[in-house]
Chain A
Amino acid sequence: MLITNLTILVLAGFVGFAVISKVPNTLHTPLMSGTNAIHGIVLLGGLLVIGLSGNSTFNKVILVIAIAFGTINVVGGFLVTDRMLEMFKRKPGPPPKDGEGE
């Protein structure tokens, strides 16, 4: 199990390098905010631990907080990224109109 997971870990690292190294400066903020949303996937960890183990009251409290944190991370992250990217997407319209000089 450990070996399988480590294999996945290392390969995913290389995939991350390969996918991201082509991103232009312009999109650095959305990229960061998008990857930020993706690491909100720790939410799954909270869901698994709270759902599958017998938890004490204290654990339930910290896990509910963890799930709330994870949800903020995921939902907020994707929404904010979407808002930012929408601004970049609008661009294809205007350029022909105001071009670059004459």
Chain B
Amino acid sequence: MKLVPLTGHCHALLVQISHHPAVLRRVAAALARHHAFGSAPLHHAAVASATVCADIARYVGLSSLTFATAKASTSFIHNTDFLRVLYIVAFALFIYGLSGLTGPRTAVRGNRIAAVGMAIAVIATLLQPGEGNWGLIVLGVAIGAAVGVPAARRVKMTAMPQMVALFNGVGGGAVFLIAWAEFRNSDGFVGKPLYVAVFSLFAAIVGSVSFWGSNIAFGKLQELLPGRPITLGRPQQLVNGLLLAGAIVLAVLVADGSHSQLEFIGMLLCAAVLGNFVVLPIGGADMPVVISMLNAFTGLSAAATGVALNNPALIVAGMIVGASGSILTNLMAVAMNRSIPAIIAGGFGGGGQVEGASGAGAFEGTVRSVNAADVAIQLAYARLVVIVPGYGMAVAQAQHAVRELAKALEARGVEVLYAIHPVAGRMPGHMNVLLAEADVPYEQLKEMDDINPEFGRTDVALVIGANDVTNPAAKSNPGSPIFGMPILDVEAARSVVVIKRSMNPGFAGIENELYYKPNTAMLFGDAKSAVADITSELASV
């Protein structure tokens, strides 16, 4: 870079600089080099300033004094284009970080890279020219950190689904509050383009649904609310439809320029009740679908906020979450062979539930109960044992006990694998997290399609707190509410041991005919103590 023109044709160049950020950056680079090499001062402004930043500030400041057309900016760090570049860096880091989440080896780094992206995005926002109200910003961030950090540090792995639901909910809450403040600040979107109103209102509705829905999901998972479906019955869908229509009508009125805060609040209320009504009827087994759907909702509402506020970082980050959440929701729904609307419609198929329950007595055969010593002997002489964990393992926090048992078996030369159904537990990947916490090697966790062919050569399938995902009725009984759901073929194993608290049907309220098969034995008890019993019996085999 030639430095001479800077001094020679200073003013002409300054005009150029102030209009072209690209030129500005090149000048910055040149100045940086100049300072680094410690050569003679090229301009009196440069001499006076201590840093490169200040040099740039002065050039631009001077030019704006001289030429009325130039932008009035005090420093390049407050330059809008520079801040946009920071946003681009931020979302590039999000995307790069998320792509790291595709493998367990790179995932930690990926998450941290995404966090760095977030920090950059926050800094860029705080540097916006005119940004103020620092006291309140610090207050808000301090409250958030004081609540969020300890919660995240202390939460048990078994409580992860409700934690994720809660974090998701507050995100949705922030979205609708921001939209509300926007509405109030502009007196009902006065002087804003229509699209700003439309996207703000969309964000407000979806954010509100997500906030209330996530809170209900949290309540159910935390067992503050009953986990069983709570529903108005048949009218539920009609009521939900009316609420949605109400929210949309009110939103249209507001967008049309009614300036009515009453209508805006009415819209928020409709969305809030809708959020409650959508999640209340959903039973525990459908939770993975709902949580990932609410996650997608919050993402989409954040993206809409981004369009309304004209902020590219928000748009990209929100949309990526919206897209990934949608994929995950769809994966979960496919894994249950149910459509997303059917899950949202509530209950476990409504009428089907009663049918399944009434058909329960139809099973022939008896249930064979065994004790821990019997199971220990069976396991000790097996070549391949497949452990099938379910929500019962999470509830009993039995993952460490399971790992101990697996270690004891491996010490005897028994091969141990884990069969993970995609919707086992209450959150996508729930079982994997718990088993990872217990140090189960990643390679031993097998997905459904990989493990199903293995059941044929499996000596003992040990089902721990899993129910519906092993129910053969999904394949054989077209009348069953879960008919068509892909399941783990545990019945193909030479012998099946089911650890279960009682004969009570699972969350879906469906009897499991697996328990009546001749090669199935039941070990009744709490998953954690039952597994620990087997391990101690194993020592004496």
A residues with a Cβ closer than 8 A to B are 1-2, 5-6, 8-9, 12-17, 19-56, 58-60, 62-92, 94-95, 98-102
How far apart sit A73 and B390, CA to CA, in the bound complex (Å)?
Answer: 28
Cβ–Cβ contact B152 & A83, under 8 A? yes
Residues in B with CB closer than 8 Å to A9 are 303, 306-307, 315, 319
Q: Is the CB of B136 within 8 A of A60?
A: yes
State the Cβ distance, A55 to closest chain B Cβ, in Å: 6
B115 at the interface (CB under 8 A from A): yes
| B118:A40 contact, CB within 8 angstroms | yes
- Complex: chain A residue closest to B94, CB-CB: A38
Q: Residues of B contacting A98 with CB < 8 Å?
A: 407, 410, 441
Let me know if A34 and B111 touch, CB within 8 A. yes
Q: CB within 8 Å of A: which of B450-471?
A: none
A84 to B: closest C-beta gap in Å = 6
Interface locus among B17-25, B342-350, B413-421, B497-505: B413-421
For chain B, residues 141 to 189, give those with C-beta under 8 angstroms from any C-beta of chain A: 141, 143-145, 147-149, 151-153, 155, 157, 160, 163-164, 167-168, 170-171, 173-175, 177-178, 180-182, 184-185
**Neighbouring A residues of B407 by C-beta, 8 Å:** 98
Q: Please, which residue of chain A has its CB at the minimum distance from the CB of B97?
A: A34
Q: Considering the complex, which residues of chain B in the window 415-430 have a beta carbon less than 8 Å from any beta carbon of chain A?
A: 415-416, 420, 422, 427-430
Is B323 within 8 A of A82, CB to CB? no
Q: Which residue of A lies closest to B422 (CB)?
A: A25
Judged by a CB distance under 8 angstroms, whether B370 is at the interface is: no
Measured CB to CB, the nearest residue on chain A to B332 is A28
Q: Which residues of A contact B301 (CB under 8 A)?
A: 42
With A and B bound together, what is the CA distance between A14 and B439 in angstroms?
A: 35
- The answer for the CA separation of A75 and B122 in the assembled complex, in Å, is 12
- Cβ of A39 and Cβ of B428 under 8 Å apart? no
Contact B317 A94 (CB under 8 A): no
Min distance, Cβ B331 to any Cβ of chain A, angstroms: 8
One of B224-232, B274-282, B291-299, B486-494 at the interface: B291-299
The 8 Å CB contact of A45, one of B314, B324, B427, is B314
Partner of B181, one of A24, A44, A49, A75: A49
Q: In the complex, are the beta carbons of B310 and A86 less than 8 A apart?
A: no
* A71 contacts B148, C-beta separation under 8 Å: yes
Binding site of A, secondary structure by majority: helix, strand, loop or mixed? helix
Q: Are B170 and A69 in contact (CB under 8 A)?
A: yes
Asked if B125 is an interface residue, CB under 8 A from chain A, the answer is yes
Q: Closest Cβ of chain A: how far from B308's Cβ, in Å?
A: 8
Evaluate contact between A41 and B317: CB separation under 8 angstroms.
yes
| B residues less than 8 Å from A84 (CB atoms) | 157, 160, 433, 436
Question: Contacts A89-B105, A98-B407 given: A8-B316 contact, CB under 8 Å?
Answer: yes
Q: CA of A88 to CA of B429 in the docked complex: distance in angstroms?
A: 12
Give the interface of B toward A (CB within 8 A): 91, 94-95, 97-99, 101-105, 107-108, 110-112, 114-115, 118, 121-122, 125-126, 128, 130-133, 136-137, 139-141, 143-145, 147-149, 151-153, 155, 157, 160, 163-164, 167-168, 170-171, 173-175, 177-178, 180-182, 184-185, 193, 195, 291-292, 295, 298-299, 301-303, 305-307, 309-325, 327-328, 331, 407, 410, 413-416, 420, 422, 427-430, 432-433, 436-437, 439, 441-445, 447
Q: CB distance B185 to A92 under 8 Å?
A: no
Decide: A16 and B323 in contact? CB cutoff 8 A: yes
A79 and B145 alpha carbons, distance in the complex (Å) = 11
Nearest Cβ in chain A — how far from B224, in angstroms? 19
CA distance A19 to B327 in the complex (A): 11
Q: Are B178 and A74 in contact (CB under 8 A)?
A: no
Question: Least Cβ distance of A97 to chain B in Å?
Answer: 9
Q: How far is the CB of B170 from chain A (nearest CB, A)?
A: 4
A72 B144 Cβ-Cβ under 8 A: yes
Give the residues in chain B near A78, CB-CB below 8 Å. Answer: 111-112, 114-115, 118
In the bound complex, how far is the Cα of B410 from the Cα of A74, in angstroms? 41
Docked-complex contact A26 and B442, CB < 8 angstroms: yes
A59: which of B175, B185, B321 is its contact (CB, 8 Å)?
Answer: B185
A28-B429, A47-B137, A91-B441 known; A76 and B167 CB under 8 Å?
A: yes
Specify which of A5, A27, A54, A94 is in contact with B102 (CB 8 Å cutoff). A27
Q: A30-B101, A49-B181 are in contact. Are A39 and B410 (CB under 8 A)?
A: no
Contact A12 B315 (CB under 8 A): yes
24 pairs from A and B in contact (CB 8 Å cutoff): A12-B303, A24-B103, A28-B429, A29-B164, A29-B433, A38-B317, A39-B295, A44-B311, A45-B178, A52-B132, A53-B181, A60-B133, A64-B143, A65-B140, A67-B141, A73-B170, A76-B152, A78-B114, A80-B167, A88-B107, A89-B107, A89-B108, A91-B439, A100-B443
Residue of B nearest to A100 (CB): B415
With the chains together, A86 CA to B157 CA distance in Å? Answer: 12
Tell whether, in the assembled complex, residue A80 and residue B164 are in contact, meaning their CB atoms are under 8 Å apart.
yes
Known contacts A12-B320, A42-B178; is-contact A1 B310 (Cβ 8 Å): yes
Are A28's CB and B148's CB within 8 A? no
Given contacts A75-B148, A78-B118, contact A32 B427 (CB under 8 A): yes
